[in-house]
Amino acid sequence: MKLGERVVDGIFLERPNRYLAHVEIDGKQVSAHVPDPGRLPGLMIPQRRVRLIHNPGAKRKTDYTLALVKHGRIWVSVFPVFANRLVGDALANRALPGFSGYVDFSSEVKVGHSRFDFQLNFSDGPMWVEVKSVSLVEQTVGKFPDAPTERGRRHVEELTELKRKGNRAAVVFVSQRSDTRSITSNDAIDPEFGERLREAKRAGVELYGINCKVTASAVNLNDPVEVVL
């Protein structure tokens, strides 16, 4: 998946709040929207190279959106919505590892009090899928979340209840970087999410992980990785 036609290079300066970054572009300081409200530890370091999508609009507070951060030799995507788009494209092409046999699928499906990313329809019934974007990686282990997530806990709880009622349910963790070899729950940051995820696994909720190949101009799903709890 290409980032778009209007992508520019910059240097990260600072992040005054979760949704805003100050960036230098061609020697001029500008503000950019940060689409990932997580803490992004190890990534948002002053003077790092970044890539931004230039998308001005009358209703936008900034003309730029931060998309990629250079981390050593690799690019890392800090655009969580990309994970959903990548999974949606893979489902449309029948190319998502671990998923096969569905008749069709739909996105942004409301079930109970939550809205899940995808509903896959099989001949014997539906399956609900929630996608989580993983940006924190330590020693090749992707860790989710990087900040406490009440919404994430609620999604996992409701998927567990759907599974207990006889439905199929799954969480797909997409690490938008290439150095991820496995994924786990970040109990140091949100132990309650970790407990809910382990409970979901015991109930039969399916857990999948996949890393990405990220270049300066594109993000694509790469290899399946194990979710280890």
Q: Give residue-wise pLDDT tens across range 40-66.
A: 999 999 999 999 999 888 888 899 999
| Pairing state between β 64-71 and 20-25 | unpaired
101 vs 112: CA distance, rounded Å = 25
Which ranges in the chain are annotated with CATH 3.40.1350.60?
A: 81-227
Confirm whether pTM is higher than 0.85.
Answer: yes
| Percent helix / strand / coil, the chain, rounded to 5 | 15, 45, 35
The interaxial angle of helices 150-164 and 191-203, nearest 10 deg, is 10
Residue 114 pLDDT > 90, yes or no?
A: no
What is the third-level CATH fold of 81-227? Trna Endonuclease; Chain: A, domain 1 (3.40.1350)
Q: Which amino acid is it at 95?
A: A
Which ranges in the chain are annotated with CATH 2.40.50.580?
A: 7-76
pLDDT tens string 117-136 = 999 999 999 999 999 999 99
β-bridge mates for residue 118, sequence order:
107, 129
228 vs 208: CA distance, rounded Å = 10
Q: Span 7-76: which CATH code? A: 2.40.50.580
Mean per-residue pLDDT of the chain:
96
Tell me the mean pLDDT in the region 83-98.
96
